[in-house]
Structure 1
Amino acid sequence: MIQIKRMADYDHDIRDDVADVFVDGYYRNLSFFTKDRTKLKAAFCNLFCPDVFYVAEVDGEIVGILACSNNRQPAMAIDKPSLKEAFGFLMGSMAYLTLDKEFNAVLPYEDDTGYIECVATSERARGKGVSTALFKHVMQELPYRHYILEVVDTNVVALQMYKNLGFDIYERKQEKLSRIKGFKERIYMKWSKGGVSDLPVDLFSCKRLHGLFYS
């Protein structure tokens, strides 16, 4: 059975477990900074914001994560010293420049909108409904009326899952340097409780792009 719990509600430190899943899920992108998984865990372990991170457990083991951030609370607080300590001065500085605007910037959404990001499942638990369980928990239990997420065109499995959950595409954006990055489009999707979205259209033109950490 999959059990969902907010990271902040644990009575013991689970940052290492969350970092394990995060690195496992995004290793392809994170390996640009270093291929050493231990260093990657050390770099991001203290950056997660527990109030907006939700974790999935199977048989007492954390196997999935999902963040639902908002205009007051980011998913991660990017910290230059942590990145420099893990990656070294040059690569740590580059990582900070890459991630600072992506995660430390305030989301341009109203109080009734949640932004879903940092969705990851450990390799051994994929295909078992972990991410779907996390989504359903957040969509049912959190007080937001609207949910927004971003996915790239090459991530067809995630795109289909989001469609199955009821998310609709509202915009596609061509990606610059697509050959280097490995995808052509960023796809923006939304879901509203009750099935009717009254989000203002001009809101969608102001987005935070999570350069490396796309779903």
Structure 2
Amino acid sequence: MFILEQFYVAIASGEIVGVAACTDGRTFSVRLNTKELRKHLGFFKGSIAGIFLKKEFEAPYKNFPPNTGSIEFVGTAPKFRGQGVASQIIQHIIENTPYIDYVIDEVADTNIPAMRLYEKLGFEEYKRKPMPEKIAKKNGINNLLSLKYVKK
């Protein structure tokens, strides 16, 4: 379901240590396959997952700016966190893709390590989406932040 052409993978000693995707805002990094979801989650759960995940992962960006890359799915394997893996992947993306600007959409304001990383790399907040009070109390996330980086 991952569109492999959109993903960048860091490997150390034959082990995947981190990943990130970068798209042009018109193509997706994930294409859901309800058949696969049903195979692994069962008919009912797989069908429901397909409906809900489609809204999350296959919703097109509205008015996505030209010459902008969308950085998505940034992740580091637990035993490699804090070692600069995500920094290196994102720097590689910025240095090796044709975009002028980059966005990272919907980072939880409580994800302090991610916010520090993005700030260190030069990303700045450009949009803040408050979470409904009931959801904020339940999951502890007050806002989802959108960040932008402009090549200098």
Query: How high is the TM-score relative to the length of structure 1?
Result: 0.65
CA change 1:61–1:75 in 2 (3 A) is same
Of 180, 184, 201, the residue aligned with 2:138 is 180
Q: CA deviation at 1:90?
A: 2.0
Q: Determine whether 1:139 maps to 2:94.
A: yes
RMSD between aligned alpha carbons? Answer: 1.3
**1:200 matched residue in structure 2:** none
Q: Among 40, 58, 67, which residue is 2:21 paired with? A: 67
Question: What is the match of residue 97 of structure 1?
Answer: 51
State the 1:159 CA deviation: 0.3
Residues 48, 77 of structure 1: 8 Å contact kept: yes
CA distance in 1, matches of 2:58, 2:65: 17
Report the more deviating stretch, 146-155 or 174-183. Answer: 174-183
CA displacement, residues 126-163 of structure 1 (integer Å, 9 cap, x when unaligned): 11111000010001110011111131011011001100
Aligned to 2:112: 156
Query: Aligned pair in 2 of structure 1 residues 180, 97: CA closer, same or farther (>3 Å)?
Result: farther
Identify which of 193, 196, 200 aligns with 2:151: 193
Q: Report the TM-score when normalising by structure 2.
A: 0.91
The code of the aligned residue for 2:104 comes to L
Take 1:60 and 1:94, find their aligned partners in 2: how far apart are those partners?
36
Alignment match, 1:168: 124
Secondary structure (helix, strand or coil) at the match of 1:51 reads helix
Q: Percent of aligned pairs with the same residue?
A: 36
Q: Please state how far the C-alpha of 1:61 moved relative to its aligned partner.
A: 1.8
Question: What is residue 68 of structure 2 aligned with on the other side?
Answer: 113
* Cα distance, 1:75 vs structure 2: 0.9
Gaps of 5+ in 2: none
Question: Residue 3 of structure 2: SS of its match in structure 1?
Answer: coil
Classify the secondary structure of the residue corresponding to 2:5: coil
Equivalent pairs counted in the alignment come to 148
Structure 1 portions without partners, runs of 5+: 1-46, 195-215
